[in-house]
Amino acid sequence: MNRLPQTAQFRNKSATLQSMIILALLFFIFGLVSWVNTILVPYFQLTLQLSNFQSSLVTFAFYIAYLVMAIPSSFLLNKVGYKRGMMLGLWCMATGALLFVPAAYWRLYRLFLVGLFLLGVGLAILQSAANPYVTIVGPIESAAKRMSIVGTGNKLAGVIANLIFAGVVIREPDKVLMRGIESGSYTGEALETALDTLIKGVMMPYLILAIALFIFGIVVRYSVLPELDPSVVNKQSAEDGSPQKSIFQYPALILGVIAMFFHIGTQMIALATSIQYAGTMGESLAGPAKNIPSYTMLLTFLGYFIGIVSIPRYLKQRDALLICASLNLLLSVLIISTSGTVNFLGITSDISIWYLVMMGLPNALLYAGIWPLAINGLGKHTNLGSALLVMALCGSAFMPMIYHSLVELNSSLSPFAAMKYAYWILIPSFAYIVWYAAYGYRIRSWTKTNL
């Protein structure tokens, strides 16, 4: 396969612009498919009558694919090329979306999990390909800015994903059914009929999504996106000597993978548990509480624009990471330590839920800050390093499960108190990211600190 050097690949400004537009559309798809999980969790919990642990498997089945497929994805991309690999990833996602149709028709929880896993597998392939594109198409010091630009597509999808799902799937008659199910008005065969009616609402939207993903795969395959050769970009800097033989000889990368795990995991906790947390305060999925994840993502969308404007002209990406991680550490403490009833946007709740929502703003620049610091200087290991960072996205699979385990451990408390206490998991996670931004990313040797 003919792969051009980086300087030739992006010399044509028009082709570069078109490439960035395609990448932004890919990141939009990432967000549309990923962030809808924040409403799928409570939706499936109701329509499939799941326990808290079973509902956590909804996100687990989706994000565990990143752990399973990230490294195989890097080998796949080396074998078939980036563009053909992204097409296969989109087709895999189309297959997963298509499985929602029979799963909803027969209300099969396990088949839904298989569909979610295939969606995650496709996304793992796409993430392994798209992130290196964004990182290495320009100077490494402005990588966070470029990631912020394409990331706006991801977060825009996050803002509208729940609204689209709620608008298309949860219609007015469905809201009546939901309230009846939640109040216990339906029992026996009447309950089964109501649940069947509700769950079939996902069939048509996911069938349309499957067709769209299949077509977009063909579009990407024959687009202007160039093929990349990671062995000729992102070279090890001269002061570091010859490149390391093993990927594990790059402490900044390995420590960055851990930071990414914590960031992605805490982000999913904040998003996927917010509707359930509001439910412990008397708010219903059929009411305005269903919009809470969209408010969080709207702030994240705003945060990306701040990154686009300020990085690197006014703020170094490392400083942005440090500031944002510190803000989220502070908000985590406030979630645990403050209380008081407020009425905002039609939602009557404890003030702590709005601190959870506010995390969306600083969360915007954590991913964009960690990725370039971790991948800097990997040279020929760039592809594998990117795969390890993609593997870290499985934090969204494990961290919510750990959170729900903490909730179960405190089942003797009220549901509200048990969920609030479990948010303690956020504090050590953000404390680690603060450490990485302040010091960890500079470590170049496991045996001797070379700053």
Give the DSSP letter of residue 345: T
> What CA–CA distance (Å, rounded) separates 285 from 177?
11
Q: Would residue 347 count as lying in a domain? A: yes
Residues 218-271: pLDDT tens digits? 998 988 877 765 444 444 443 444 456 678 888 999 999 999 999 999 999 998
> What CA–CA distance (Å, rounded) separates 105 from 317?
48
Q: Would residue 108 count as lying in a domain? A: yes
| 57 and 113 Cβ atoms separated by less than 8 Å | yes
State which residues form the domain around 378. Answer: 16-225+244-442
| Residues counted in the chain | 451
Task: Specify the CATH number for the domain of residue 143.
Answer: 1.20.1250.20
Residue 231 CA neighbour count, 13 Å, CB half: 2
Mean pLDDT, residues 363-368: 87
What is the SS3 assignment for 343? strand
To which H or E segment does residue 347 belong? strand 347-350
Q: Would residue 235 count as lying in a domain? A: no
> What CA–CA distance (Å, rounded) separates 236 from 59?
37
> Facing residues of 349 across strands?
342
What's the pLDDT score for residue 241?
Answer: 44
Residue 86 token pair = 């992204």
CB atoms within 10 A of CB 397: 24
Query: If pLDDT is split at 50, 70 and 90, which confidence band does 390 have?
Result: confident
234-269 burial by CB neighbour count: b if 16+ within 10 A, else e? bebeeeeeeebeebeebbbbbbbbbbbbbbbbbbbb
What's the pLDDT score for residue 30?
Answer: 82
Instruction: Report angle CA 248, 252, 255 to the nearest 5 degrees.
Output: 80
What's the pLDDT score for residue 393?
Answer: 87
- Report the range of poorest mean pLDDT among 122-126, 144-148, 329-333, 404-408: 144-148
282-288 LR contacts (CB < 8 Å, sep 24+): 282/348, 283/347, 283/348, 283/349, 284/178, 284/179, 284/182, 285/42, 285/43, 285/46, 285/170, 285/178, 285/182, 286/170, 286/174, 286/175, 286/178, 286/179, 286/182, 287/346, 287/347, 288/345, 288/346, 288/347
Q: Would residue 45 count as lying in a domain? A: yes
Query: If pLDDT is split at 50, 70 and 90, which confidence band does 99 have?
Result: very high
Residues 267-301: pLDDT tens digits? 999 988 999 899 999 888 778 888 898 899 889 88
Distances (CA, A) of 145 to 93, 124, 149: 28, 22, 6
Give which of 91, 80, 89 is closest to 3, Cα–Cα.
80
CB atoms within 10 A of CB 186: 16
Q: Would residue 4 count as lying in a domain? A: no
Mean pLDDT, residues 174-198: 90
341-344 vs 347-350, strand pairing mode: antiparallel
Which one is predicted more confidently, 373 or 127? 373
Q: Would residue 41 count as lying in a domain? A: yes
Listed in sequence order, the residues at least 6 apart from 183 whose beta carbon sits closer than 8 Å to its beta carbon are none
What's the pLDDT score for residue 234?
Answer: 46
> What CA–CA distance (Å, rounded) separates 445 from 433?
19
What's the pLDDT score for residue 274?
Answer: 93
| N- to C-terminal Cα separation, the chain | 39
243-250 LR contacts (CB < 8 Å, sep 24+): 243/379, 243/380, 243/381, 244/381, 247/378, 247/381, 247/384, 247/385, 247/388, 249/446, 250/377, 250/378, 250/381, 250/385, 250/444
Q: Would residue 231 count as lying in a domain? A: no
Q: Would residue 61 count as lying in a domain? A: yes
What's the pLDDT score for residue 13?
Answer: 66
Measured in degrees and rounded to the nearest 5, phi and psi for residue 341 equal -85, 130
- Looking at the structure of the chain, the number of domains it has is 1
Residue 441 token pair = 């990313």
Listed in sequence order, the residues at least 6 apart from 203 whose beta carbon sits closer than 8 Å to its beta carbon are 100, 101, 104, 105
Query: If pLDDT is split at 50, 70 and 90, which confidence band does 361 have?
Result: very high
Listed in sequence order, the residues at least 6 apart from 118 whose beta carbon sits closer than 8 Å to its beta carbon are 65, 92, 93, 95, 96, 99
Average pLDDT, the chain: 85
Residues 191-209: pLDDT tens digits? 999 999 999 999 999 999 9
Phi-psi region of 390 (alpha: psi -120 to 50; beta: other; left: phi over 0): alpha
Distances (CA, A) of 75 to 64, 125, 244, 379: 18, 10, 20, 16
> What CA–CA distance (Å, rounded) separates 85 from 221?
8
Amino acid letter for position 8: A
Give which of 264, 199, 263 is closest to 64, Cα–Cα.
264
pLDDT above 90 (res 399):
yes
Write down the number of H helices and E strands in the chain.
20, 2
